[in-house]
Structures are given as C-alpha cells and as structure tokens.
Amino acid sequence: MTDPTMDREPDRLAALRRYEILDTPPDRTFDRIVALTARLFAAPIAMISFVDADRIWFKARHGLDLTEIDRDPGLCASTILQEEPWVVPNARQDARSRFNPLVTGQAGIRFYAGAPLRTHDGFNLGTLCIMDTEPRVMSRLQLDHLAGLAMITMDHLEQRILARHAISGVLAEKDKALRRTKMRARELEHRVMNGLHLVSTTLQLQSRAQPDASAARHLMEAADRVATIARVHRHIHSQEAVGRVDCRAFLEQLCGELSSLVSVDDGRVLFHGVDAGVAAERVAPLGVIVSELVTNAAKHGDGRITVSLRRPAAGRLSLEVSDEGSGLAADFDPAAHSGFGMKLVCTLAQSIGGTLTYGTAAGRPGVCFTVTFDEATAGIT
C-alpha cells in the first residue's frame, strides 16, 4: 500500500530536520542494531538509512562501507512510500530497482528488504534494511521481525530527541539562572560601590573637620583606602568579571583613572603590558596593589610613575610599579613597614600566591616594586 504521506514530502523533510540526525557521528546503539539485524537474518549487509531531499544518507552500516548515495528509486527511496516493509526478491529483474546504483554498481545488490522508520506523527524518515548479493525471499514472520527492529530503531531516535530537548531545557534554565545571578551580582556591586563612596566621603568630611592634624591625616588616608577599593570594584564591574578577566585592559583602565587622582610629572600614570587573562577573583587584589603602590609613589617618589605587566617566563606574570624618585632607605623592609598601605600590599601579594620584591628601577633612578605570580593559578589562598 502506498503511504499517504507521499504527497506531504515538504512536511516529511521538515520532520526529518526536526530529529537533527543527518550527518551526525556514529552512534553505538544504531551500530549494534544493524549488526544484530544482519545476524538475525543471515544477511551480509544491514543499514539504517535516512532519505533526504536528494540523497540517501546511511547513519549505520554493516557489510557495506558507504556513507550516502543519490536518491534513486527502487530500494530505500521506495520503502519510505510504504506503510509495510518493502521487499525486492531480485533487484536485477525488478523494473523498479534494476537501475539503482546499488544494483548496477560494485555492490551488486540482488535482494533488498526494508522497513520504514515511522515517526509518531506518521512520517517515514528512512529505513532499517537488509541486502544480499543473491536473490532470496522473506517469510511473513521475518518481515514482522524486521518491522519490530525498525520500531526499536525509531524508539532510540525518539529517545535521542527527547534527551536533547531535556538537555536544552536544563541548559536554558541554567542560562536563566546565570543571568539572574549576574543581575543580582550587579545590583549588589552597585550597592557596595555606593556604600564605599559614602564611607569615603564621610571620612573626608570628618578629616576636614578634625582639628588634630595627625588624626585628620589618618582619616584622609583611610578615605583614600576606601576610595581605592571602590575604584577597583567599579572596574571589575565594568568588565562583568566572570571566570577570567582581561588583566591588561583592566589595569590600563585603572591607571587611566589613577592619573586623574595623583600628582604626576607628565599628568598621567603610564601603563604598558602583555595580553593576559587572570582568574576573576584575583583582579581585586591586583587592582588594590596597583592603587596602593601608585599612591605611595606619588606621595614619596618623584618623576613618572609606570605600571607594567610582563611575562618573565611561560606561565608567570609580573606586575611592576616604578617611579623616578631618590629610592628607598637602606634598611627598608616592606614586611616590617609601619604603614598600612605597604602591609596591605604584602598581604594581598601573598593571597594570590605571589612574591613581592623591590629595588632600583631598571635603567633609571627610582624604585620598582614587583609582584610575581603564576598566570594559571585559579584562586585566592
């Protein structure tokens, strides 16, 4: 009997596209089905085919190394027009199949039996078929078995699309959850930055109203520290730091803002560096380190202030802040320094697994502080 879907070829092709099976990698379940089918029917060739608009593509094959052929009538292309298995006892003598390339070509097919792969909504996508190079016949029971195996094949195809839809649903939910998390993180970030700015402003006002010069200075330094943290938070937020952050772009942007906040000979904090990505959670410590060292260089150093990001060796990064001042005292020890800023720099360098060194700036007078750390290190200790 001719399948009524033969007049609905556009709809059939749309159903075939819905399953997204064409040109996919091998599937072990389909491979096992064709191997089992070949053994059950003592057939040298068994295949799972899908009939496209102008070709027949073989998803699984046993006994014939063939990926696809033109959509010629007589075999698979004729099977999808049927509701029942399609049998050609002797393809060379059958007018419907005698010119099929599988019959006339090197494969030399004489016998063919195929069961349509029918969807739940009535479209035949392809076939589960067996072939032989000798003519043969099939009993009704054998045809029923072949049709049953075709239904098992179709069950696996249905499970495959259901699993893909389930995975897509899970991924969509995860994407929604990630977007909600990012939105909440941005809201929290805004609140944190607003709070930091409020604290910094309050400390500055208290410093100006403080009659004691020493207390006023400490209040202003505290305000500067809070403002530094606020700046770093703002730059991290501007990059929407998730996973890894473009460290070069982050530091370049931060140095640009620091240029307007500190007194520098040529009016700006110079920056140059290599392209490097670092873990998002390491950006805040690096930003605070740069802000503290630049602020110290502006207060106690002289000349230009330069921030550099280098890669001294594979997998290693060094962050350098240098000035052109008179240098450090002979007994300078950052670990024993009484200033809060230098203690903060030492602590943050350790937190990212880095080492802090200091000395004369290369090729010119002044001081150079360097924090060296592993580029691949993922987190904060």
Q: What is the band of 188 on the pLDDT scale with cuts at 50, 70, 90?
A: low
In degrees, rounded to 5, the angle at the alpha carbon of residue 32 between the alpha carbons of residues 27 and 38 is: 130
Q: Among 34-48, 130-144, 269-283, which is the least confidently predicted range?
A: 269-283
At residue 264, the pLDDT reads 59
User: Within 10 A of 128 (CB to CB), how many other CB atoms are there?
Assistant: 29
Name which of 40-44, 224-228, 265-269, 300-304 the model is least confident about: 265-269
Residue 223 confidence (pLDDT) above 70: yes
- Is pTM, for the whole model, over 0.85? no
Q: Which long-range contacts (CB under 8 A, 24 or more apart) does 87-94 make?
A: 87/112, 87/113, 87/137, 87/138, 87/143, 88/112, 88/113, 89/135, 89/136, 89/137, 90/135
**pLDDT at 3 (0 to 100):** 45
Cβ within 8 Å of residue 255, ≥6 positions away: 268, 269, 270, 271, 290, 294, 307
For all residues of the chain together, what is the average pLDDT? 84
Task: Give the best-scoring range by mean pLDDT among 86-100, 183-197, 291-305.
Answer: 86-100
Residues listed for the chain: 381
Check whether 75 has a pLDDT greater than 80: yes
